[in-house]
Amino acid sequence: MFEKLKSTAELQTAASILEAGIRYSPYNAHIKMLAILVYSRLHSAARAWELFQKMSIKHIQYESCAFIILPVLRSGGMYQETITICKEIIRLQRIAIHDAGEYSGTAMESGALSKAEEFIRFHRERINKSLSATEAKGLVLDSAPLFVQDGNQGAVGVVHGIVGGSTDFDRAKQIIAEAHDPFAAFSLLRLSGSVDENGKKLVDNRDLSILSNDLLLRWNFDAPKVTVRDSLRRGHIHTLLIKAALCVESTKGPKKGKVVSAGTTLSRRCSSLLASVKSTATDSTEWNSPPGYAEFLKVILNECRVVAVIGGGEQLGPERKPDNLETREESALDLMLQICNDLRTAKEALKTLNEQELVQLVSRILPECIIPVFAVFQMCAGILDLFGWGRRKRSTKRCAGALADIALALAGIIDDMLSSLNW
């Protein structure tokens, strides 16, 4: 009779029963896991995190058991704790190489060749292709701008992440250098292909049997296909952020009222950015994302196009026009008007959710959508300032006015998000 707990009163009763069980049996991991699931429904991520810590999860157990806490932390806005769990999962991959070599060598010395082969096969087929590790890398990239090193820091991205700030270029260079490390979170940027193709390559190491006693509450976790889809989306978005940051660094403002022709470096960077925009737009057609995600992705793609059009003089249509300030402004204006429309559509999509769903979605959508949108918005604003189309010209320059409209639309979405959290 406890299989379908829906009301808050029923969930609170279940939580009270489980808390009593934990007091009488403080080392019972099954009771703690059930309590974590109940608290996740009650939006009490802090208590769920406390219980998870008391389970003394270690080493490879992070790979198989983290799936019960990561959705709770993400829906509860506990980004610092999300990074902690994901770094342990990624660290396991580095440790596993050393352990596989050591244990297989010991097994061969003892004559247990089958065991040596088992160690090697487990590493190649399970650890190297881990779906959990792939998800962890994406969550680290998403949560990085929200990492708090000092309680006094007042802005996102002070320590890590591409956020449209002055340190973006240096961080982008560091990310590119580390992207070739298969054990670094940045290796996610090299993930490519369709959801089905990657779903066949990756292995789900989650141990769902640990929830065999979930009598109080049934819980449906993300299917592997959903995790693959989200990882691909994160890889695409962070690739766009890095390439946009590189374009901004090479952009030169006009001289004596005339545009400065893009050099080889800027032209290549803008072409690469537009190629990634096209690839993301194509691949996103098979992503069945939550409400608002598709609209936010369109915003990011058009913002990247604005960076390439104004900064590098790229022309998106088949017709070749003379490269001057007027054509750049005209091309960018169409894109910026579309950005405003997409932001308004995203705001309306979020209004269709009930309050409980919105609280969880807000906590997820902040690192996954809002920060990338804001980051490229900051880049666009910096380029417009460079061209003399900043906030002071919003009444005389159409692009400056459109940028102000984008800022107001984005502020409206953030206000709605804050209202849902106050609930």
Q: Does residue 59 sit within a domain?
A: no
Q: What pLDDT, in 10s, does the model give residues 178-232?
A: 888 888 888 898 888 888 888 888 888 888 877 776 655 567 788 889 999 999 9
Q: Which residues pair with 258 in a beta bridge?
A: 255
Most confident of 127-141, 232-246, 345-359: 232-246
- Alpha carbon 20 to its chain's center: 37
Contact 164, 376 (CB under 8 A): yes
- Considering only residues 2 and 273, tell me which one the structure prediction assigns the higher pLDDT: 273
Is residue 418 situated within a structural domain? yes
Q: Which residue has the tokens 């849902």?
A: 420
Q: Tell me, what amino acid is at 205?
A: N
pLDDT band for position 4 (cuts 50, 70, 90) = low
**Tens digits of residue pLDDT in 54-112:** 988 888 888 888 898 999 999 888 999 999 999 999 888 888 777 767 767 777 777 77
Residue 1 pLDDT exceeds 50: no
Average model confidence (pLDDT) across the chain: 86
pLDDT at 216: 52
Residues paired with residue 130 on neighbouring β-strands, in sequence order: 203
Short-list 391, 419, 423, CA closest to 407: 391
Please check whether residue 145 lies inside any domain of the structure. Answer: no
Give pLDDT, residue 422. Answer: 76
Residue 322 pLDDT more than 90? no
Task: Report yes or no: 338 and 302 within 8 Å, Cβ to Cβ.
Answer: yes
CA end-to-end span of the chain, whole Å?
Answer: 30
The position carrying tokens 């950015």 is 273
Mean pLDDT for the stretch of residues 403-423: 88
Residues near 170 by Cβ (< 8 Å), separated by ≥ 6?
none
pLDDT band at residue 3, thresholds of 50, 70 and 90? very low
394 belongs to a structural domain = yes
Tokens of 33: 């896991």
Quote the CA–CA distance of 70 and 212 in Å, as a whole number.
19
pLDDT of residue 2: 41
Report in angstroms the alpha-carbon separations of 55 from 30, 174, 196, 212: 9, 36, 35, 17
Tell me the per-residue pLDDT of 229-266, one tens digit each, with 9 for 90 and over: 999 999 999 999 999 999 999 999 888 778 888 888 99
Asked if residue 391 is part of any domain, the answer here is: yes
Amino acid at 215: L
Q: What is the 3-state secondary structure (H, E, C) of the chain?
A: CCCCCCCHHHHHHHHHHHHHHHHHCCCCHHHHHHHHHHHHHCCCHHHHHHHHHHCCCCCCHHHHHHHHCHHHHHHCCCHHHHHHHHHHHHHHHHHHHHHHHHHHHHHHHCCCHHHHHHHHHHHHHHHCCEHHHHHHHHHHHHHHHHCCCCCCCCCCCCCCCCCCCCCHHHHHHHHHHHCCCCCCHHHHHHCCCCHHHHHHHCECCCCHHHHCCCCCCCCCCCCHHHHHHHHHHHHHHHHHHHHHHHHHHHCCCCECCECCCCCHHHHHHHHHHHHHHHHHHHHHHHCCCCCCHHHHHHHHHHHHHHHHHHHHCCCCCCCCCCCCHHHHHHHHHHHHHHHHHHHHHHHHHHHCCCHHHHHHHHHHHHHHHHHHHHHHHHHHHHHHHHCCCCHHHCCCCHHHHHHHHHHHHHHHHHHHHHHHHHC
Alpha-carbon distance 84 to 89, whole Å?
Answer: 9
Domains contained in the chain, number: 1
Closest CA to 308 of 256, 250, 370, 257: 250
Tell me, yes or no, whether 148 lies in a domain: no
Compute the distance between CA of residue 146 and CA of residue 86 in angstroms, rounded to an integer: 14
Residue % of the chain over a pLDDT of 90: 37
Q: What is the mean pLDDT of residues 397-422?
A: 89
Predicted TM-score (pTM) of this structure: 0.90
Q: Which residue has the higher pLDDT, 171 or 113?
A: 171
Asked if residues 304 and 244 have their Cβ atoms less than 8 Å apart, the reply is yes
CA neighbor of 340 nearest in space, from 417, 408, 278, 244: 408
Q: Is a pLDDT exceeding 90 seen at residue 269? A: yes
Max Cα distance, the chain (Å): 82
What confidence score (pLDDT) does residue 111 get?
78
- Does 197 map to a domain? no
Specify the range with the lowest mean pLDDT, choosing from 109-123, 179-193, 325-339: 109-123
* Between 324 and 105, the higher pLDDT residue: 324
User: What is d(CA 61, CA 348) in angstroms, rounded to the nearest whole number?
Assistant: 41
Provide the pLDDT for residue 217.
55
Higher per-residue pLDDT: 113 or 399: 399
Question: Of 243, 255, 263, 273, which is closest to residue 387 (Cα–Cα)?
Answer: 255
Q: Is residue 263 part of a domain?
A: yes
Q: Please state, as a whole number, how many other Cβ atoms lie within 10 Å of the Cβ of residue 404.
A: 14
Task: State the pLDDT at residue 128.
Answer: 81
> What are the structure tokens assigned to 146, written together?
């929200």
Containing structural domain, residue 385:
251-422
What's the pLDDT at 120? 76
User: Taking residues 127-141, what's their average pLDDT?
Assistant: 90
Residue 324 to residue 312: CA distance in whole angstroms = 11
